Amino acid sequence: MLKLQNELLLLLVADFIQEHHIPFLASSVVEQQRVVAELLTRNVKLRYLLVGTVVGLFTQSELAYYRPNRAELNRRLLELAIRRVQDHVTALASLLAEGTATGE
């Protein structure tokens, strides 16, 4: 499901970075990957936004499975989201450079 929402995932993270004035573009790729991991690990607002974006597309049967397994699935989902955004950090930087995240 994250693969299908990759562009939206990157846009949400880019928007968050811009909104919070995080100096992302001036950093090296390794530092950008670290920032992404830290944001998605520590920022509760961003974590819940990403989880809600994915869970909102669940079917009824997927939601029935998700509810009793919520803690474990949220943890796994966030691990995958961190990896996905880190793997696409160049695209994330491009979105920020273009100002696409906020619709400028």
Q: What's the structural domain count of the chain?
A: 1
- Judge whether 54 lies within some domain: yes
* 7 neighbors 100 (Cβ within 8 angstroms): no
- Judge whether 21 lies within some domain: no
- The model's pTM: 0.87
- Judge whether 43 lies within some domain: yes
- Judge whether 81 lies within some domain: yes
- Judge whether 71 lies within some domain: yes
Calculate ∠ Cα 40-41-43, nearest 5°.
Answer: 70
* 53 neighbors 5 (Cβ within 8 angstroms): yes
Domain region containing 35: 6-16+29-98
Helix-strand-coil split of the chain, %, nearest 5: 80, 0, 20
- Judge whether 1 lies within some domain: no
67-100 per-position pLDDT tens digit: 999 999 999 999 999 999 999 999 999 999 998 6
- Judge whether 23 lies within some domain: no
